């Protein structure tokens, strides 16, 4: 039965369709549409070929975003002159023999890249193998030329000019030169992360210039040292300084790489780099697992930064599911997700109270005036400093003239007084011991919200509410994992009025809320009675707490798992049970908070990913006053 064209009435006779065999040029152009979407795709295929050839130095030259010129030079094993015509044929490859399509241990394996590029552009290959003369071949728009002698010391040079000149319609779908150049550079950077022992160079020859856009020298040492050095080059020193090392094996899967601290988060997912058996991929399963691992330490509008490598037996993953090989399929996706989530959470917990070093740099930048006035001062000698310290001693003021004396009034009251200040005097061993601790000794509380602590190398400014919120949340998590959150019964149940729908939602969740230490039951129409609250929260207003829980349930919807929903509710509870802004704290309370932060995992950031403290080193503070 022949289908009718929508533009021809059904009763009009039609010509019988003829089945034709497409010629090789048309087939290659169709294949090129799947393999080569833009110049960045061409660079990816050519650089992967160079890596498969064992190259240790790869240089990429582009012009006009790769539209007019792409040249990839490598020092790999090369292609023999007799094999050059075969290399330009479809499905001709040296990577596999076709007997086992699951045992793929190379980047490329389909044998489609070179013929596809030759079908839509002007492609030339010059190569030389050891012990033989160099040779070259050219393909223009699918028309192959003869093999010719050439001059080349070693390796291979692949040059692609006028991409898509044979398919002009494809040019209309390309973006501007700058956007294409950025996409091309991103491909080179990703492959550079996958191969830290290889030198990568990217140059821009637009307009006759010769500008180096990216350069990453080959690293030395063991794999982790080499990867750390390469990530410093590609992602920046800040990422390398604030990244946690991962090295975990489970069920035949190996997870390695580096993941950044939560306080070093990004506004988008641009800093998430995932690799499977060395191959850069953009896989929804892996991205979702990465997001889930940071769920407790990042808000929904922030994204983690990481470079994760998953290595496994090739038979456990199928890389032949996407023309550009950008997606993979795992035989046991649940095991992969569990490995990523548990490995990242273990690393984040092991970081303790550590926060991103960039937080202090940002604080210092905010404190610096727009046009700092720098004074040229010589550092005082040890004798001068000793005399200055002696002049500031308490006894000096009594010997000075009366006009030079001044008194600082000290605040007294039920919560604080001169005898209860955090400073116990320079002579006590307690102060010396506290100053040597990571978060130091509390010195003051300012604006009833920020704790100032002195460390051995500077000062720490702590957000008391954010810090205590994380501590309460971690405590509630431990209790829930053990035997459920301990509850305290209210002497008089608190009645909270709300809509019928909201009351029904809470009553449906009553059994799960009971695990969290919150006893809720219906109380007539449009109201619930709260009979128990979590003991860890202390005295808490039930009404605002329930409304925050309802907001969390509405935002999360029914798509999240029960565990994720309960953890989100715990996070809301922790906010209500933490020290509020505006509450004055005793010195002992402030120091107790600092000590608990040092002993609590993930204490460097609150439940929403914001830093709980900022550290300023003494050298940074001296910069503010022009001393350095």
Same domain, 39 and 109: yes
* 628: pLDDT strictly greater than 70: no
| Region 376-395 average pLDDT | 50
For residues 624 and 591, give the distance between their C-alpha atoms in angstroms, rounded to a whole number: 27
- The pLDDT assigned to 443 comes to 92
Instruction: State the average pLDDT for the chain.
Output: 79
> Each residue of 393-431: pLDDT tens digit?
444 444 444 443 334 333 434 444 434 444 444 444 445
> Each residue of 248-287: pLDDT tens digit?
999 899 999 999 988 888 878 888 999 999 888 888 889 9
Least confident of 169-173, 565-569, 594-598: 565-569
For residues 536 and 613, give the distance between their C-alpha atoms in angstroms, rounded to a whole number: 23
Last residue of a domain, one of 322, 351, 380: 351
Same domain, 121 and 142: yes
Tell me how far the alpha carbon of residue 63 is from its chain's centroid.
31
For residues 314 and 316, give the distance between their C-alpha atoms in angstroms, rounded to a whole number: 5
Same domain, 503 and 622: yes
Which of 85-99, 286-300, 355-369, 588-602 tops mean pLDDT?
A: 588-602
Least confident of 118-122, 340-344, 410-414: 410-414
For residues 568 and 573, give the distance between their C-alpha atoms in angstroms, rounded to a whole number: 9
* 16: pLDDT strictly greater than 90: no
Residue 376 in domain: no
* 609: pLDDT strictly greater than 70: yes
Same domain, 324 and 362: no
Residue 11 in domain: no
Least confident of 4-8, 68-72, 270-274, 402-406: 402-406
Residue 382 in domain: no
86-110: buried (b, 16+ CB within 10 Å) or exposed (e) per residue? ebbebeebbebeeeeeeebebbbbb
> Each residue of 134-160: pLDDT tens digit?
999 999 988 899 999 999 999 999 999
Q: Is 156 helix (H, G, I), strand (E, B) or coil?
A: strand
- The pLDDT assigned to 429 comes to 43
> Can you say whether the dihedral through the CA atoms of 107, 109, 110, 115 is positive or negative?
positive
Residue 393 in domain: no
The DSSP secondary-structure symbol of 307 reads E
For residues 594 and 213, give the distance between their C-alpha atoms in angstroms, rounded to a whole number: 46
- Number of structural domains found in the chain: 3
Q: Give the chain's radius of gyration (CA, Å).
A: 33
Q: Please, which pLDDT band fits residue 186 given cuts at 50, 70 and 90? A: very high
- The pLDDT assigned to 512 comes to 85
Percent of the chain with pLDDT over 70: 75
Last residue of a domain, one of 216, 238, 262: 216
| Region 109-131 average pLDDT | 85
Same domain, 110 and 129: yes
Q: Please, which pLDDT band fits residue 534 given cuts at 50, 70 and 90? A: confident
Looking up residue 58, the CATH number of its domain turns out to be 3.30.565.10
- The pLDDT assigned to 375 comes to 44
Q: Is 300 helix (H, G, I), strand (E, B) or coil?
A: coil
Q: Where are the beta strands (DSSP E) in 261-413?
A: 272-276, 279-281, 306-312, 317-318, 329-330
Residue 16 in domain: no
Tell me how far the alpha carbon of residue 196 is from its chain's centroid.
19
**Position with higher pLDDT, 32 vs 378:** 32
Same domain, 567 and 579: yes
**Position with higher pLDDT, 475 vs 200:** 200
Residue 390 in domain: no
Same domain, 80 and 63: yes
- The pLDDT assigned to 13 comes to 57
Residue 72 in domain: yes
Same domain, 327 and 444: no
Q: Which domain holds residue 580?
A: 352-369+430-628
* 321: pLDDT strictly greater than 90: no
| Region 52-62 average pLDDT | 94
Q: What angle do CA 388, 385, 398 make, to 5 degrees?
A: 20
Last residue of a domain, one of 216, 237, 271: 216
- The pLDDT assigned to 406 comes to 34
Tell me, yes or no, if the pTM score tops 0.95.
no
Q: Please, which pLDDT band fits residue 23 given cuts at 50, 70 and 90? A: low
- The pLDDT assigned to 59 comes to 96
* 490: pLDDT strictly greater than 50: yes
3-state SS track over 397-419: HHHCCHHHCCCCCCCCCCCCCHH
* 389: pLDDT strictly greater than 60: no
- The pLDDT assigned to 111 comes to 61
If we measure between CA atoms, which residue out of 597, 587, 234 comes closest to residue 444? 587
**Position with higher pLDDT, 54 vs 421:** 54
Same domain, 470 and 570: yes
* 582: pLDDT strictly greater than 70: yes
Least confident of 76-80, 425-429, 560-564, 586-590: 425-429
428 Ramachandran zone, left/alpha/beta (phi>0; psi -120 to 50): beta
- The pLDDT assigned to 215 comes to 95
- The pLDDT assigned to 594 comes to 92
> Each residue of 196-213: pLDDT tens digit?
999 999 999 998 888 999
Q: Please, which pLDDT band fits residue 4 given cuts at 50, 70 and 90? A: low
Same domain, 236 and 125: no
Q: Please, which pLDDT band fits residue 536 given cuts at 50, 70 and 90? A: confident
Residue 392 in domain: no
Q: Please, which pLDDT band fits residue 382 given cuts at 50, 70 and 90? A: low
């Amino acid at each position: 039965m022949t289908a009718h064209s929508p533009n021809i009435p059904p009763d009009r006779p039609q010509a019988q369709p003829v089945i034709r065999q497409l010629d090789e040029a048309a087939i290659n152009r169709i294949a090129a549409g799947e393999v080569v979407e833009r110049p960045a795709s061409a660079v990816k295929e050519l650089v992967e070929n160079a890596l498969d050839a064992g190259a240790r130095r790869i240089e990429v030259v582009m012009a006009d975003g790769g539209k007019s010129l792409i040249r990839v030079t490598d020092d790999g094993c090369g292609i023999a002159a007799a094999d050059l015509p075969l290399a330009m044929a479809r499905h001709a490859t040296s990577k596999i023999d076709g007997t086992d399509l699951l045992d793929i241990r190379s980047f490329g394996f389909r044998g489609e890249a070179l013929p596809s590029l030759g079908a839509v552009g002007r492609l030339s290959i010059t190569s030389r193998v050891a012990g033989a003369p160099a040779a070259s071949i050219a393909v223009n728009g699918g028309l192959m030329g003869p093999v010719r002698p050439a001059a080349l010391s070693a390796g291979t040079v692949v040059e692609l000019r006028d991409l898509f000149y044979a398919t002009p319609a494809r040019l209309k779908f390309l973006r501007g030169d700058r956007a294409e150049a950025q996409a091309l550079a991103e491909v080179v950077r990703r492959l550079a992360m996958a191969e830290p022992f290889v030198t990568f160079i990217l140059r821009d020859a637009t307009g006759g210039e010769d500008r180096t856009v990216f350069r990453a020298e080959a690293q030395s040492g063991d794999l982790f040292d080499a990867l750390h050095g390469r990530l410093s080059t590609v992602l920046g020193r800040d990422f390398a300084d604030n990244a946690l090392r991962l090295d975990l094996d489970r069920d035949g899967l190996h997870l390695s790489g580096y993941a950044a601290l939560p306080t070093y988060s990004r506004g988008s997912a641009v800093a998430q780099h995932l690799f499977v058996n060395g191959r850069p991929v953009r896989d929804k399963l892996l991205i979702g697992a990465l997001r889930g691992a940071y769920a407790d330490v990042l808000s929904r509008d922030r994204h983690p930064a990481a470079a994760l490598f998953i290595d496994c037996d090739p038979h456990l993953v199928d890389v032949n599911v996407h023309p550009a090989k950008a997606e993979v399929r795992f035989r046991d996706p649940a095991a992969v997700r569990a490995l990523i989530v548990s490995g990242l959470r273990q690393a984040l917990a092991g970081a303790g109270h550590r926060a991103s070093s960039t937080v202090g740099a940002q604080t210092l930048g905010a404190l610096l005036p727009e046009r700092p006035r720098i004074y040229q001062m010589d550092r005082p000698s040890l004798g001068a400093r000793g005399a200055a310290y002696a002049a500031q001693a308490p006894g000096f003021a009594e010997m000075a003239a009366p006009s030079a004396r001044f008194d600082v009034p000290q605040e007294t009251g039920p919560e604080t007084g001169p005898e209860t200040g955090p400073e116990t005097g320079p002579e006590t061993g307690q102060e010396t011991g506290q100053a040597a601790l990571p978060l130091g000794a509390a010195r003051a509380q300012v604006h009833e919200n920020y704790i100032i602590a002195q460390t051995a190398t500077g000062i720490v400014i702590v957000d008391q509410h954010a810090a205590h919120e994380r501590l309460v949340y971690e405590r509630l998590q431990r209790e829930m994992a053990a035997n459920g959150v301990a509850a305290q019964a209210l002497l008089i149940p608190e009645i909270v009025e709300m809509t019928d729908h909201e009351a029904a939602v809470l009553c449906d969740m009553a059994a799960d809320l009971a695990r969290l230490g919150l006893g809720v039951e219906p109380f007539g129409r449009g109201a619930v009675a709260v009979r128990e609250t979590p003991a860890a929260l202390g005295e808490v207003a039930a009404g605002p707490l329930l409304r925050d829980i309802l907001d969390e349930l509405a935002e999360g919807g029914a798509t999240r798992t029960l565990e994720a929903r309960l953890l989100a509710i715990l996070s809301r509870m922790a906010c209500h049970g933490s020290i509020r802004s505006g509450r004055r704290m005793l010195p002992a309370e402030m120091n107790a908070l600092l000590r608990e932060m040092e002993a609590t995992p993930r204490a460097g950031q609150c439940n929403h990913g914001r830093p709980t403290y900022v550290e300023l080193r003494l050298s940074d503070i001296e910069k503010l006053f022009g001393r350095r």
